[in-house]
Amino acid sequence: MAPIMDFTVSDSSIGLVVRPMRRGPEADLILRFVDAETHSLRGKRRSYAVFQEPQLDTGFPDIVVVGFDPRVFDRWHRDRDHLTTVDLKVIQHLHLVGGADADQIEVQLGLDSKVLVRSLERLLAAGLVRWAARHWVPRSLRSAYGISSIQAIEAKMRNWRDALEQAEMNRWFASESYVLSPIQKPTDRVVAASQSLGVGIYTMPAGTAPKRLTRAKKTPLPACYASWLFNEWIGRRLGR
């Protein structure tokens, strides 16, 4: 049985910034869900990491539950500890296009040539890219990316509009995105709206365990460079 990794406080050594939780009903809902989810995950064979309000470019998702294969991180390259957001954007792009030369990357990502050169040097040192046939080619995802699922959860007490908007936004990095609410029976209109957005719903009235009311639409990973951030945070923690 694999332990659950906890990412609930900022850790400058791995580049993680976490927003301190503000007291209130939503915080209580989040903590209840995390406690219940952590207890549930401990009975599974896969490894998991639980993040609370990690800082991303789009904000601070309330809860992010990440499933991963620890074997992928067994040979963690220490040079990966120094990768930047720009580097992750470059490696994500290379995986999407299958490989490109520097001129193509500059145009497609809008990067300055000097910035790109330094980025490629870091990715090369970290063993994530190689130069072949006049192209920069990414290392296989199977050996570089250990995450199998990223479930984002946005908690709201009653404001369904804001909850659904934020949950939809979280789909850019997550394989599944959910709203968490203490309301046991959302209206048909709310359920229909969530389904049209590809967002799922968890309900968790006081004194009960979380119940998945509707499933989220799944997105392949890594969905974007932010999907890599969770991979790097986990790898840096395990590689210490």
Q: What pLDDT is recorded for position 42?
A: 85
Q: Please tell me what DSSP assigns to residue 42.
A: T
Q: Please tell me what DSSP assigns to residue 43.
A: T
Is residue 191 within 8 Å of 166, Cβ to Cβ?
A: no
* CA 218 vs CA 151, 152, 221: distances in Å: 10, 12, 9
Q: What pLDDT is recorded for position 2?
A: 63
Q: What pLDDT is recorded for position 153?
A: 98
Which tokens hold the place of 6? 């906890």
Q: What pLDDT is recorded for position 45?
A: 79
What sign for the dihedral angle of Cα 205, 209, 215, 219?
positive
Same fold across 4-69+146-235 and 78-142: no
Domain 4-69+146-235 listed as CATH 3.40.1350? yes
Q: What pLDDT is recorded for position 1?
A: 47
Is residue 187 within 8 Å of 194, Cβ to Cβ?
A: no
Whole-number CA gyration radius for the chain: 19
Which tokens hold the place of 81? 């500890």
- Model confidence, pTM: 0.95
User: Rounded to an integer, what distance in angstroms lies between the CA atom of residue 102 and that of residue 117?
Assistant: 8
Q: What pLDDT is recorded for position 3?
A: 77
Tokens 């209840």, residue?
Answer: 32
**Residue ranges in the chain modelled with pLDDT below 70:** 1-2
CATH number of 78-142: 1.10.10.10
User: Rounded to an integer, what distance in angstroms lies between the CA atom of residue 146 and that of residue 68?
Assistant: 5
Is residue 237 within 8 Å of 192, Cβ to Cβ?
A: no
Q: Where are the domains of the chain?
A: 4-69+146-235, 78-142
Tokens 């906890």, residue?
Answer: 6
